[in-house]
Amino acid sequence: MINICSHYSYRSPNLQVLSIKSCPHVTDETMSKIASGCPLLKELDISFCYQISHKCLALIGQQCPNLRILRRHLMTRFNPSQQEPFLPREYLDTCPQDGDSEAVAIGKFMPQLVQLEIRFSKLTNKGLALISEGCINLEHLDLFGCMNVTSRDISNASSNLKQLKTLKKPHHCTLMLESNTERYGLWQLYDERFQTDFFRI
């Protein structure tokens, strides 16, 4: 695995795992050069990189057709004191993240994903639906902190994901999906009782 912050090599044709986590100076332009030079990339972590936009996500998907794992975690804005030591508030405010636009890029250009982690994304039920329609091979989906989607949204979307094994929901609940639909129904009933629209942003 290469961390691009310490190794600025734009062309690594055999590279399969890349982490640029928490690199505030990595932009769309930088990432587009990396993607075009790493066609065999299978795993990518671009968490907390706020200058990478949905346009670049689409380009990554096109240039890296073998991508299987994407991590795109973001900082929570519910408690600013937790994020300020890592990223200046001014930086976050000037780089707004469009969750649904990113979801469109992921669903359309990353169909081979088996693991997707998008913690604290601002995507809505529309974006989640597009991901579930485009990434039907997903086995692991992490939606922790994605408070714009409800249990009903997640249930509707996951009906397309026949391979799904692990689902981390926005409200701290991890649901292990099993073939036993009766047991899953009990989990779903419990979840619907305790999650309401109060949790929507």
Q: How far is CA 180 from CA 86, 104, 132, 161, 176, in A?
A: 43, 31, 21, 16, 11
Domains of the chain: total: 1
| pLDDT of amino acid 171 | 77
For the domain that residue 125 is a member of, what is the CATH number? Answer: 3.80.10.10
| pLDDT of amino acid 56 | 94
Strand residues in 131-197 grouped as ranges (E): 140-142, 166-168, 174-176
Supply the range of the domain harboring residue 67. Answer: 2-199
| pLDDT of amino acid 24 | 82
| pLDDT of amino acid 127 | 97
Per-residue pLDDT of the chain (201 residues; tens, 9 = 90+): 544 544 445 667 889 999 999 888 899 999 999 999 999 999 999 999 989 999 999 999 999 999 999 999 998 654 444 444 455 555 555 555 789 999 999 999 999 999 999 999 999 999 999 999 999 999 999 999 999 999 999 999 999 999 999 999 997 444 444 434 333 443 343 344 344 343 333
| pLDDT of amino acid 19 | 94
CB atoms within 10 A of CB 80: 11
Cβ-proximal residues to 15 (8 Å cutoff; 6+ apart), any chain? 2, 38, 40, 41
